[in-house]
Amino acid sequence: MKPRDLSVLHIPVAELHVLLNLVKPFIAARDLVPAYQQILFTPDTIRAFNGDSGVIAYTTWKAPHTFTLPADRLVPIVGALFDQKVEKMRFEFSETASGAVGVTLRGGTSVVKFLSADAKDFPLHEPPKLKQRAVLTPDWWASLASVEFSVSTDATKPDLQGVHWDAEHLIGGEGFRISRCASRIAPPKGISALLLPDVLLGRFRGHRASAVEVGRDPATGLLWFFLEAGAIFGPLRNATFPIDGVSEHFAGLRKEFVARKSEATWVTVEKNDGALERCSWFVDPLSPRVHVRVAKERVTITATGDHTLEETLVVTEFAGPGGTFNVNLPKLRDALQRVARFGFLPGNGPLYFFDKTQSLEHILVRYIAE
């Protein structure tokens, strides 16, 4: 039987390209469930779900059918058409003898024929109508980004695999460093604190500016970020961030710096990512240790592996006796990219970074002197 023509849909390539960039991180990496490697088109949305988290993006066009297309084929095709500055693409729908929907995509010189998988296999999640939501601002997202680099990647420590958020602070930490920033926005009403999962946050890193609200669905336990034109959702970790210990650590360190004020060294350096990057070429990748000498005139960083490199950071502010210490280079670089001022005391205590407003603080453990 000849396929029966159903309808035609025209979609702006640039608009679909933007939406696919949002959707792509939510495609399952493995084909354990075939539906999780498909992109679902409904009359007014496109969606993806990887079995854990998902995304819903509203469209400006109205699709005549609900259908799915394989992400590993659609994404590169649309990307190529976008690079070629093709303005529109044409979707032609037909029904096969078995009742399946066939989709022919035409754009530029390309003609691609897909056979839609059964949309019934794709799990649908609809955004809940939550009354208790927190309104997110660009400043809040910037604060989160300033601590996110310290989040643990150790799967055996789920209580550290995310950013802790309460009414006062956003905090990220692992065994060797802790970052804390003033949050200025409290979690949704009725929730004292949330551990925002790092995996979920990482999936829409480039689209956070469009995430304007967040809420937790009490019926499913899912965390929902509401976009200007869509939503992102995922599960919360069954873990509690050790906030009491972290708060005590910051308070204790501050008291120690006050009590030993005459022994403390404080220094502010000019940003020099190039110098720190060059040091990374010379350290042992398995143990990227550098030796740091802090003096009034300069901060000298020495990286030693098979060969030795010495780099200098310019000092703009200095107080105290100075000193030397050994520290993990990548973690030092992460800290200095965000806060240029730090202090330390004699001995093996941690480095303490904070900006002048003290809204952003960072603690970094140094290597014990040998």
216-268 pLDDT, tens digit each = 999 999 999 999 999 999 999 888 899 888 889 999 999 999 999 999 999 99
Report DSSP state, residue 368.
Answer: P
Tokens for 322, please give them. 């100075």
Architecture per CATH, 134-235: Roll (3.10)
Tokens for 175, please give them. 């065994």
pLDDT (tens digit per residue) in 340-368:
999 999 988 999 998 877 689 999 999 86
Identity of the residue numbered 84: Q
pLDDT (tens digit per residue) in 258-285:
999 999 999 999 988 899 999 999 999 8
Q: What pLDDT is stored for residue 175 in this prediction?
A: 82
For residues 182-207, give the mean pLDDT. 94
Q: What pLDDT is stored for residue 183 in this prediction?
A: 92
What's the chain's length in residues? 370
Residue 257 phi, psi dihedral angles, 5° rounding? -65, -35
CA distances (Å), origin 106, targets 81, 88, 96, 111: 10, 9, 19, 5
Kindly report whether the global pTM for this prediction surpasses the value 0.75. Answer: yes
Cβ(127)–Cβ(231) under 8 Å?
Answer: yes
Q: What pLDDT is stored for residue 5 in this prediction?
A: 56
Q: What pLDDT is stored for residue 215 in this prediction?
A: 96
pLDDT (tens digit per residue) in 41-54:
999 999 999 999 99
Architecture per CATH, 4-121: Roll (3.10)
For residues 126-151, give the mean pLDDT. 94
- The band of 119, judged by pLDDT with boundaries at 50, 70 and 90, is confident
Q: What pLDDT is stored for residue 355 in this prediction?
A: 84
Q: What pLDDT is stored for residue 349 in this prediction?
A: 92
Share of the chain above pLDDT 70, in %: 97
Cβ(5)–Cβ(94) under 8 Å?
Answer: yes
- The band of 6, judged by pLDDT with boundaries at 50, 70 and 90, is low
Domain 134-235 in the same topology as domain 4-121: yes
> Exposed, middle or buried: residue 305 (CB in 10 Å: 0-12, 13-18, 19+)?
middle
Identity of the residue numbered 359: S
pLDDT (tens digit per residue) in 279-336:
999 999 889 999 999 999 999 999 998 899 999 999 999 999 999 999 999 999 999 9
Domain regions of the chain by residue span: 4-121, 134-235, 249-364
Domain 249-364 fold is: DNA Polymerase III; Chain A, domain 2 (3.10.150)
Tokens for 144, please give them. 């989160």
